[in-house]
A and B are shown apart, each in its own frame.
Chain A
Amino acid sequence: EVQLVEYGGGLVQPGGSLRLSCATSGFTVSSKYMSWVRQAPGKGLEWVSVIYSGGMTYYADSVKGRFTISRDNSKNTLYLQMNSLRVDDTAVYYCARADYGGPGYYFDYWGQGTLVTVSS
């Protein structure tokens, strides 16, 4: 059974850092595209970042240069290092596994989400 469990969220001051983790089971994280998607309170979904199976990474313009996605194949875990956090980074952060069959990709499994609050 595929499972994704995020942890590491919490309250952080503007300008601070936080590292989110997503522990996975039921598949090999290095064989799939893996993404982070966030949702600000009362708002819609916003894609944050992806790491391809080959290791290439891409970011939304809103987080480029501040966030870093990575994975630990030995622990089957995905990470999101978030630096220079801003108030508008406040959101529930979801870890999502991606799959593809045609042009582009979609998210077939999601974690339960972890809340990041950036406030002074």
Chain B
Amino acid sequence: QSVLTQPPSVSGAPGQRVTISCTGSSSNIGARYDVHWYQQLPGTAPKLLIYGNNNRPSGVPDRFSGSKSGTSASLAITGLQADDEADYYCQSFDRSLSGVVFGGGTKLTVL
């Protein structure tokens, strides 16, 4: 079981908005460690999507946004497009484990 909990799957129609949740605990997200998000297209390496809770690297469209509150975080994707279909992972740091922790991943299907 992953330390961070994500829904296994979400779906939405083109143009719609979807959100992916990431729930942690008082030893990671709740301990004020930042949350980061990655997109993994089929057969490729993960790509940084959001860092520091709500910052986008250069080249990432502003359709992607992140937020964090308490022991949880969320990734929102607006204006869904077919090529957004991928696996999405949240990541933080856990002080009890002294290491990085990932969510189990969420598969986004664009209907």
Contact = CB atoms under 8 A, between A and B. Distances in A.
A112 B104 CA distance: 20
Contact of B52 (A46, A58, A101, A110): A101
A50 interface: yes
B51 A46 contact: no
A107 interface: yes
Interface in B49-68: 51-53, 55, 57
B55 to A, nearest CB: 8
Contacts of B98: 58
Interface in A25-43: 35, 37
Contacts, number: 72
Interface class of chain B by DSSP: strand
20 contacts: A44-B89, A44-B105, A45-B40, A45-B102, A47-B100, A47-B102, A58-B98, A59-B99, A60-B99, A94-B45, A101-B34, A103-B34, A104-B93, A106-B48, A106-B51, A106-B52, A108-B57, A111-B45, A112-B45, A113-B45
State which size class the interface on A falls in. Answer: 20 to 34
Interface of A: 35, 37, 44-47, 50, 58-61, 94, 99, 101-108, 110-113
B30 to A, nearest CB: 12
A107 B89 contact: no
A39 B76 CA distance: 24
Contact of B100 (A35, A110, A112): A35
